[in-house]
Amino acid sequence: MNHHINRRTAAKLIALQTGAYFLSSHNTFTMNKTMQKRRIPSTLEEIPVVGLGTWQTFDVGNSAAERAPLKEVLRALIDAGGSVIDSSPMYGRSEEVVGDLTTELNIKNSIFESTKVWTEGKEAGIRQMDDSMRLMQAAPIDLMQIHNLLDWKTHMKTLKDWKAAGKIKYIGITHYHSGGYAEMENIMRTEDALDFIQINYNLQVRGAADRILPLARDKGIAVLINRPYEGGNLFRTAKGMTLPDWANEFDAHSWGQIFLKFILAHPAVTCVIPGTSKAKHMLDNVQAGFGSLPSNVHQKKLIELFS
């Protein structure tokens, strides 16, 4: 493959190379390779390193025209060996759409379902989480997270009870910018029940690597990474730039794969969850879960390139 290509061109080439991808249960990934997995420290369960976020992208209506492309996104994820799907009641109708489509596709046994509680008060939190389980058609939920730490002390008590009762498997907390890092760090140090954190980290915004990610590794907490493309800003920055020849040394053939592999090169990261509503982008994203990862030298080069 010519490495001097952008994400869109790479995605088209990938789609061509996989041939009748959506008409077959086999593809270039699953025939010969398995997506890399990493352990959840609290249980040693393994999950694939590339998943799917649903903010904005899965907030659609009931029509077949709106939902059909999202079915293909889910097929691309599962056929490549991915499983993690992350949502939230904050994301409009995303939970409902995830629930309907994963049920229609009969992939409930193949996925790791993650959502959040995003309200104040014990009873309001319970009602919201019950609604999430109903909408996602998932009981138990694999991972329930406290979204942006909202009323976290109240919800943490409920989540501990729910975990003990088997209603959820894992407890997590989330944030998406550095303003929440200090509080997140405090929770990570004091809450032994915490299985996951979800945090922002990417090639341009690397602050989580200073304290949050090392602490997660020290405390045995799994890490989901949101905003891997910095809201698309990384692609805007890379526009017009030539893909470096040395990207081939860590099996990256598009800017999207470079950005995701940079994140996965951090040893504390468990899974990265880029969002998309397009199957061709999902096909490109999942390839970051295969092959080598950037070395320290490669990572320094990338940081210099995007400085």
Q: Check: CB of residue 88 under 8 Å from CB of residue 131.
A: no
Structural domains in the chain plus CATH codes: 45-232+269-291 (3.20.20.100)
What ranges make up the beta strands (E) of 49-100? 52-53, 84-86
Q: What is the CA radius of gyration of the chain?
A: 19
Structure-token pair, residue 300: 């320094």
CA–CA separation, 198 vs 208, rounded Å?
11
Residues 6 or more apart whose CB falls under 8 angstroms from that of 112 comprise 47, 51, 83, 84, 85, 142, 143
pLDDT of the chain, 307 residues: tens digit per residue: 334 444 444 443 443 343 333 333 334 444 457 899 999 999 999 999 999 999 999 999 999 999 999 999 999 999 999 999 999 999 999 999 999 999 999 999 999 999 999 999 999 999 999 999 999 999 999 999 999 999 999 999 999 999 999 999 999 999 999 999 999 999 999 999 999 999 999 999 999 999 999 999 999 999 999 999 999 999 999 999 999 999 999 999 999 999 999 999 999 999 999 999 999 999 999 999 999 999 999 999 999 999 8
pLDDT at 109: 95
Q: Which pTM was predicted?
A: 0.90
Burial 95-124 (b: 16+ CB within 10 A, else e): bbbbbbbbeeeebeeebbbbbbbbbeeeee
What's 50's DSSP letter? B
CA–CA separation, 85 vs 94, rounded Å?
11
